[in-house]
Chains A and B, each alone.
Chain A
Amino acid sequence: MRTPSSILIDVELPDPSPLPPALVKLVSSLRVVIVGWYEVPEQTSPEQAREQFEEEAAAALQEIATPFEDAGAEVTQRLVFTGNVFDTVSRISVEESCDTVYIARPATELQNVLVPLRGTHNIESIMAFVADLLKERETKVTMLQVMEEGESEEKVLSKVIEPARARITDRGMDDSMLSDHLVTSDDPAGVIIEEAEDYDLVVLGETEPTMRKILFGSIPEQIAIEANVPVIVVRHAAEDVPA
């Protein structure tokens, strides 16, 4: 059997912003890697900060982790004193082989999920994750495909939406929870950000095989920054990267 999907959730220490209880419930079937980072400026050696603040930071991290553990998730905690948070999160996402990365925004409930697709790109990983995440829940999933001018709707339905739907139902998700939405525009990021307003969570695939590209200078980055709802970025599965 395939191992459960995993998600990386990073929190700032020693005063983390609370994570929505809905998230705790949502990811309880996954392997959850919680990265608590304590950022120090260059004047300070991370070692010096660890010596003084480790106990406090570890307690704060444990407080964040406890609800996930109680909800039944398989939790791994990583506490890091760092001068560069981005390095830390991307290093750990690789070390722990996380399939997805959670980008926090305030949220109350997670009942409506938007899944923007970019053709068949990365579709296997995205759909597998969505199914793992949502199959036993009353959560509505909307697949969004932004089409180019002149692209045929029928073709998109048969080439993208249907295969996606098949993959997700194969993994045990109820077909009635799925819907699709096609929009024509030359600004996919803008459309996704606008549409996201009506949803509680966005799950989208990274466009490049590296973390750096997701967070710097590509469409998902813009969405992750500008969307007002939480985003889960699905990383490239190793087998999706052409050899």
Chain B
Amino acid sequence: MSPAERPKVEIESQSGELERSLGFVEAMAIGTGTMVGAGIFVFPGLAAGQAGPAAMLSFAIGAVIAMLVALPTAELATAMPESGGGYYFISRGLGSFLGSLVGIGQWLGLIFASAFYLMGFAYYLSDVLTVLGVTASLPVQVVAFVTVVVLTGVSITGTKNTGDLQNAIVGLLLIILAGFLGHGLLDATGVLGRESIPETFMPFGVMPIFTTAALVFTSYLGFAQIATVAGEIKDPGRNLPRAMIGSVLLVGVLYVLTIFLSTSIVGSEQLSGLGETAIVEVARSIFGTVGAGAILTGGLLATLSSANASILSSSRSLFALSRDALVPDETRKINRRFRTPHVALLLTGVPTAGLILFGRVEVLAEVASLLHLLMYGLMCITLLVMRARRPAAYDPDFRCPGSPVLPALGALASFGLIAFMQPLSIGLGLGVLVAAALWDGFFARDVDIVYE
């Protein structure tokens, strides 16, 4: 039957549209909500212990790298506003082999990240329980394990849209942080008459600034997650770049201020001894019990929202991989009753639970960062390749400034930061990549992706 003979209704009814329902605020909330959990609520104690007050430089280095990557990513995302994010760009720009390395790395990287956030959440929950006088001391790993089981279950069966809740949580967090940082900074700079703790800025020298930057870079994994939902963002040409760049700037400033405040008020030595929930003590010494309570609440919300966002994002990565036949079709099946991708969510939740049993927070964070940094570096290279190749379909609404210097720096900085990680993290990261390469060799050998 020729197209002209086909009944009109049939043609009409075949074109299902996709609603773009995320505006600028929602996109910012995805980016900020994914990132803000780690940098403020988990890392200050660990970072100050490693680098002293100079840890604020470590966070600043992270922000600069994130920005160098966010600008090229924004261009790629407006040129290819498709679900899948980094995997999609790299497979289209650099071919299916690197594509599937990154895609599998993106899925697993987010799993490491959610395990890390959930460990952070468990530290906060344990602190809350202690404050409430519940003395039954459960190991944090058990708490985190139970949480991931519940979270995965809710993701699979929950049909209520929690987008508004996510916005509300991020809004509440920003209010808590603004109060905390605003008052705290006046206090720390002596306006309110407090003596700040005299301390050497770099007690351990220059090197720890970089190793700490590598450790805390997990705090910036999130801006690229906005690209994984690019297909659902309204007016992506405008909202994607603004949300990516805006969320990196916002969290970067918050992180640097938080470290400045924490080290001035409590001192890095004491912070270090306080571990994952050190920031609670900073709040306590500024605002007393109320401050500690607010920050505990903030920490619970932030780490949980980061974990939740990472799990959802990881399952989106599997969808993109499966659409390109790099993983089996079953992976992207949607459950008819709940309308959720239950297979992909399980393939994210179960490995997360496994990693929680492994339980080393710093290693989890670094492997997550490593896998993302690899993707970030390759995205910068993809931008250079796209600019050189000029495929007809490539027509970005946002153009990254300063090309080729800026994206080249982004790639160098991303790969370079990996060198400052612990050997165990680098080994695990490489192990993941080898596994991904083997998978690609056996399962996805014949897959060819063309982008003209």
Please measure, in the bound complex, the distance between the C-alpha atom of A50 and the C-alpha atom of B22, giving whole angstroms.
Answer: 18
A residues less than 8 Å from B163 (CB atoms): 42, 83-84
Q: Which residue of B lies closest to A89 (CB)?
A: B19
**Any B CB within 8 A of the CB of A185:** no
Q: Given A49-B339, A62-B9, verify A42-B312 contact (CB < 8 Å).
A: yes
Please measure, in the bound complex, the distance between the C-alpha atom of A127 and the C-alpha atom of B222, giving whole angstroms.
Answer: 53
Tell me the smallest distance from the CB of B382 to a CB of chain A, in Å: 22
A54 and B16 contacting across the interface, CB-CB below 8 Å: yes
**Any A CB within 8 A of the CB of B155:** yes
B17 and A79 contacting across the interface, CB-CB below 8 Å: yes
In the assembled complex, 28 residue pairs joining A and B whose CB atoms fall closer than 8 Å, in A order, are A38-B16, A41-B160, A42-B163, A43-B155, A43-B156, A43-B312, A44-B339, A44-B341, A45-B229, A46-B19, A47-B18, A47-B83, A47-B319, A48-B332, A48-B334, A53-B334, A54-B14, A58-B14, A58-B16, A62-B9, A77-B12, A80-B17, A80-B18, A81-B16, A82-B19, A84-B19, A84-B161, A84-B163
Interface residues of A in 83-107 (CB under 8 A from B): 83-84, 87-88, 91
A83 and B16 contacting across the interface, CB-CB below 8 Å: no
Question: Could you say which of B21, B83, B340 contacts A43, with CB atoms under 8 Å apart?
Answer: B340
Tell me the smallest distance from the CB of B154 to a CB of chain A, in Å: 10
A residues less than 8 Å from B162 (CB atoms): 42
A residues less than 8 Å from B319 (CB atoms): 45, 47-48
Please measure, in the bound complex, the distance between the C-alpha atom of A57 and the C-alpha atom of B14, giving whole angstroms.
Answer: 10
A residues less than 8 Å from B155 (CB atoms): 43
Q: Given A81-B16, A83-B19, A83-B232, verify A41-B161 contact (CB < 8 Å).
A: yes
A62 and B229 contacting across the interface, CB-CB below 8 Å: no
The 4 closest A-B pairs by CB, nearest first: A82-B19, A84-B21, A58-B13, A83-B21
Q: Which residue of A lies closest to B332 (CB)?
A: A48
A residues less than 8 Å from B22 (CB atoms): 83
Please measure, in the bound complex, the distance between the C-alpha atom of A40 and the C-alpha atom of B17, giving whole angstroms.
Answer: 13
A residues less than 8 Å from B135 (CB atoms): none
A residues less than 8 Å from B83 (CB atoms): 45, 47-48
**Any A CB within 8 A of the CB of B333:** yes
B161 and A42 contacting across the interface, CB-CB below 8 Å: yes
Show the binding face of B for A, using Cβ within 8 Å. 9, 12-19, 21-22, 83, 155-156, 158-163, 229, 231-232, 312, 315-316, 319, 323, 332-334, 338-341, 345
**Any B CB within 8 A of the CB of A61:** yes
B334 and A87 contacting across the interface, CB-CB below 8 Å: no
Please measure, in the bound complex, the distance between the C-alpha atom of A87 and the C-alpha atom of B334, giving whole angstroms.
Answer: 23
Interface centre among A48, A57, A79 (most CB of B within 10 A): A48
A residues less than 8 Å from B156 (CB atoms): 43
Show the binding face of A for B, using Cβ within 8 Å. 38-54, 57-59, 61-62, 65, 69, 76-84, 87-88, 91
Please measure, in the bound complex, the distance between the C-alpha atom of A69 and the C-alpha atom of B7, giving whole angstroms.
Answer: 13
A residues less than 8 Å from B316 (CB atoms): 45
B residues less than 8 Å from A62 (CB atoms): 9, 13
Interface centre among A41, A84, A88 (most CB of B within 10 A): A41
A88 and B19 contacting across the interface, CB-CB below 8 Å: yes
B residues less than 8 Å from A59 (CB atoms): 13
Tell me the smallest distance from the CB of B83 to a CB of chain A, in Å: 5
Q: How many A-B residue contacts, CB cutoff 8 Å? A: 102
Q: Which residue of B lies closest to A80 (CB)?
A: B17
Tell me the smallest distance from the CB of B232 to a CB of chain A, in Å: 7
Tell me the smallest distance from the CB of B289 to a CB of chain A, in Å: 36
A residues less than 8 Å from B232 (CB atoms): 45-46, 83
A44 and B161 contacting across the interface, CB-CB below 8 Å: no
Q: Which residue of A lies closest to B231 (CB)?
A: A47
B residues less than 8 Å from A41 (CB atoms): 158-161, 338-340
Please measure, in the bound complex, the distance between the C-alpha atom of A61 and the C-alpha atom of B323, giving whole angstroms.
Answer: 26
Tell me the smallest distance from the CB of A210 to a CB of chain B, in Å: 16
Tell me the smallest distance from the CB of B304 to a CB of chain A, in Å: 15
Interface centre among B9, B16, B22 (most CB of A within 10 A): B16
Please measure, in the bound complex, the distance between the C-alpha atom of A172 and the C-alpha atom of B99, giving whole angstroms.
Answer: 66
Please measure, in the bound complex, the distance between the C-alpha atom of A44 and the C-alpha atom of B231, giving whole angstroms.
Answer: 12
Q: Which residue of A lies closest to B234 (CB)?
A: A87
Please measure, in the bound complex, the distance between the C-alpha atom of A76 and the C-alpha atom of B159, giving whole angstroms.
Answer: 29
Tell me the smallest distance from the CB of B321 to a CB of chain A, in Å: 12
A residues less than 8 Å from B332 (CB atoms): 48, 51
Supply 15 further A-B pairs (C-beta < 8 A) apart from A43-B155, A84-B21.
Answer: A40-B339, A41-B339, A42-B163, A44-B340, A48-B83, A48-B332, A59-B13, A77-B9, A78-B17, A79-B15, A79-B16, A80-B18, A81-B16, A82-B18, A82-B19
